[in-house]
Every structure is written in structure tokens, then in C-alpha cells.
Structure 1
Amino acid sequence: MPLTRAQALTEAQQAAAKAKRLAEYAEGAAHSGEPVNHTKTQRFAQAGALWADTSRAYASLAQALPELPADHENTEA
């Protein structure tokens, strides 16, 4: 089944939420008093950046896809 604009927007929102969580983890690790957590900062930041890129890619797809009527998704089999 082809990707719809609504699906691409949903994927973009979910990826953005993951990017946000990972950025929060990275910030927490960076401010941690435990040196072992400082090594996690870069990993969290890198993973967050990948999810942010994924979110932007889905948002770009959503922008390029035609908007379909709401009943169109329910009529395809």
C-alpha cells in the first residue's frame, strides 16, 4: 500500500517524539555527576539526530504527497 500524507505526518510526529526523548536523555547524561553517564551523551545525541533526520524526511514526503479525502483511505483494499 502506498504511503499517504496522513501516514507520513504520523511517522514524522513519532520520529520527532523519539528525537526529543533522546535529546532529553543526552542532556541528562551531560549534566550527570556520574562520569559513566558522560559517555552516553554522545550516543544519545547521535541517535536523536538520526531520529530528527527521519522526522524531517517524513515531513518532506508528507509535503510532497497529495492530500487525499478522508474516506479514500477506508475505501482502498
Structure 2
Amino acid sequence: MHIERHSLAKELPEFKDKIHELKMKDRHFARLFDDYHNLDHEVIRIEEGVENTSDEYLDSLKKQRLHLKDQLYAILKSA
């Protein structure tokens, strides 16, 4: 089974340069970016079967990841 990664640069390619710039200059953005990356990594590990959890837990992680992506997108749009 192929597990799709949801890196922010892949999800929002039009903001690739801005993502890099904000990661270097904006501590809040960098923290949210790290949180997003860590959640994405955890979701992938669960989907690959490396870790076993309940479906409810996996769904909650995916919702958190989406919420972080929305926050990051809002910052990118306003930057």
C-alpha cells in the first residue's frame, strides 16, 4: 500500500519559497511547521503499520494536521 506524505511544500507548492523564508524568520510559523511535520510523520507511521492505534486516534491526528495546515496557510497568505 502506498502512503501519501503531506509535506507542506507538496501541499502548497506555490508557497515553497515563502515557507522556507518564514521558517527562518518567524518563530511562531516555524513551531507550527514543526508540529505539522511531526503529526504528518506520526500519521504515516500509523498508516504504514509501524504503530498500531485506534481509528479514532488516527482520525484525531489527521484533524489536528488539517487544522495546522489551515493555520499555516493563513499565515502564508497574509505574509
Larger radius of gyration between Structure 1 and Structure 2: 1
- 1:1-16 → structure 2 map (5 Å cutoff): 9-16=26-33
| Corresponding position of 2:11 | none
Secondary structure at the aligned position of 1:22 is classed as helix
Deviation beyond 4 Å, 4+ runs, structure 1: none
> Is 2:20 the counterpart of 1:19?
no
- Shift in Å, 1:20: 0.9
1:37 to 32, 53, 65: 53
TM-score normalized with structure 2 length:
0.53
TM-score normalized with structure 1 length:
0.54
Aligned length: 55
Percent sequence identity is 7
CA-to-aligned-CA distance 1:12-71 (integer Å, 9 cap, x gap)? 22111111111111111112266x51512221111011111111212223x2xxxxxxxx
Cα RMSD, aligned residues only: 2.5
